[in-house]
Structure 1
């Protein structure tokens, strides 16, 4: 992995009849030359009917993928010098969005087995036993596209609420907003969650994590991973104290980008729900969060402690 700062990938759909030379060159490099996939398998005659996604850095093609009419995602490729920077995830997200636009409720793929964890982090679930394809071990995987459906309903708190929070934050690309009475240690003082927030904060200059709490005392007294993160990265992880507000009844919220919602109502520890991709519901909760944010402010206890 390169130590150079990660540049933001420009991801867009690419018409096969206009950009096939570019797409073929990428796939030739990754699949045929690097992985040894036979040409007659790689060029299967289905590209003309597929939706293609191309990722470029300052105009240079570095990543691609395709979506077949039946919902199969494939030909996910990132040039070797650019791996490990989240570019594959950006291409995958664009392909899932394309599936939603086509009205597809599910997508599936044949993941190379070494990459199964990557797809699992994006919500794909294995189906069946591993198999060999083009001389490489694969596993079939599938996930819902969302289309406004509730992924999880009646989620118990603190578990598996914590796991849902981690999964949602791992898939965020630009912003995470968290609302919690006291940033409950059982949920938010979690190493995997802290890693996901730190990764987003460092990904690009415009990335942002905002955390809103009412009672700061438990995290100060016990210490807290997210408090430590906010002190270390104060320009991108912003922690503020919420003053009393008549509209807030004690809900716990995790919001990601413009479409992800994880919510626990104040009155129940067994009625949380998660919608990873519902812009309509996310907009309502985002407006609510913004209203509370306007009634919040920094607290002296959140500042870095001088050595």
Structure 2
């Protein structure tokens, strides 16, 4: 019976006591032994000591939550790579480079820590009559990644053009720096701007992909992610609007006039970014983050995404659930 259902393309689960039905428990996609005996753990990957099939609902809830969490981590990593390619193109195009401490913040503290925190999301408390996507290339998965990437890339390029059009902006004299002297390419308005925009986008994307929806608890129920997001975004916001300090100098931010570090000189200094401009930049970034959140929450997880998912499933051979 189990093999017949599987041949029809159905995802099949089997429940039994682990006795004469052990073959079916091993053959099914998911087998649950309704027995507390030690031998039951050999014939079935899941066991329960409750004499009821009710734990199947818990198994489905946990499984769907784990699948949704795995896809969230996948989308976060793919989006990170796509956005990083835009970031690299912008820096190479303008002949600039960020200091190593910025890369450490983005890659070590940011990417690794947020990837770990996203994986700690807990499953939803109730089982819904829906299932998460099972395809890495489904319209919802691709739309979620490409949509957020397009939004962030658009805001990044727009922000760079806006900063460069400011009346006090002085283009970085990259022609005065040798190719091998990469450490001299970071003290300028361009690097300061793209550092904040890119890092904010990277940190926030982990939150966007952990909104939860039907299968997982909301992102603020994930204590590790909440702590990282609050600390990371708060640190960046305070750093952006702060006065020149040891921290701003460590990140080589253009918050004070620089005429000492090459290629800047007393005859051609780098002007300080005004606080008013930095405050406007923070508001611009906030609009960027809000737009990305609305895309995921309203379009991908909202009514529009639900209609597209229903249409896609109607065209496919998968059956949602049959008990």
- Which has more strand, going by share of residues? 1
Larger radius of gyration: 2
TM over 0.5: no
Query: TM-score, normalized by length of structure 2?
Result: 0.23
Query: TM-score, normalized by length of structure 1?
Result: 0.24
Q: Greater relative contact order (Cα 8 A, min sep 6): structure 1 or 2?
A: 2
- Which has more helix, going by share of residues? 2
